[in-house]
Structure 1
Amino acid sequence: MRILIVEDEERLAILTRKGLLQEGHAADIAATGEEAFDWVAIASYDAIILDVMLPGMDGLAVCRTLRARRVPTPILLLTARGAVEDRVAGLDAGADDY
């Protein structure tokens, strides 16, 4: 699988990528929503791991934009926010899991 990690905390992004690589997956890292759009435009992904709290455009807006652009790739939102309202907002934005 090829996975896009959208995470602005470099250490967490690198650790996530390392774990995915150890499991035999390919992984790219984007630190912002704009970088994620650039990666999605040039590569095909089997999944996107998307942080909700990003600088500039937040993860929910990134998710909505990807879905508006008809990107069918499954999206997993990754965040410390765990309230029911946050999960509902993420799924309503087009995420496949939270």
Structure 2
Amino acid sequence: MAEKKVLAVDDSATIRTSISFVLKQAGYEVVEAIDGVDGLDKAKADKFNLVITDINMPNMDGIEMIKQLRGTEGYKFIPIIALTTENQDTKMQEGKAAGATGWIVKPFTSEKLLAIVKKIIG
């Protein structure tokens, strides 16, 4: 079976690096994007099993990227995890309404991230 591909979208290089490190260690292929615009371009150019995105980013935020991804061919049912410092219900509702599958609040542990990814895409 081919490696599962994960798109990690975050404007923080530190967060992207830690997501990549944890998931690559577990055997996933990870592609990084620096914001929603970059994430959307990379998602359209390739096929991913899972998208992990920050919410607060420059150029295009995670909510807008999720909305656009959901309207993109092949991404209607791909799981999208919102990774954010936002833990208010309103933001979570907004994320869910946009099409987010789940929510991880920062700071997160590598164990928690890996457990969620494994649960979602195996």
Question: Which bin holds the TM-score, normalised by the shorter protein?
Answer: over 0.9
Specify the alignment match of 2:81 in structure 1: 76
Structure 1 equivalent of residue 48 of structure 2: 45
Counterpart position of 1:19: 22
Shift of 1:57: 1.1
Q: How far has the Cα of 1:69 moved from its partner?
A: 2.1
State the match for 1:93 in structure 2.
98
Which segments of 5 or more consecutive residues in structure 1 lack a partner in the other structure?
A: none
Q: Please state how far the C-alpha of 1:33 moved relative to its aligned partner.
A: 1.3
RMSD: 1.0
In 1: Cα distance, 2:37 partner to 2:86 partner: 22
| Consecutive unaligned residues in structure 2, runs of 5 or more | 104-122
3-state SS of the aligned residue for 1:16?
helix
Using CA pairs under 8 Å that are at least 6 residues apart, name the structure with larger relative contact order, 1 or 2.
1
Partner SS for 1:89: helix
Structure 1 SS opposite 2:41: helix
Aligned identity (percent) is 26
SS of residue in 2 equivalent to 1:13: helix
| 1:57 is aligned to 2:63 | no
Cα deviation, 1:44-94, whole Å, max 9, x if unaligned, reads 110000100111111100111111224232100000111111111100011
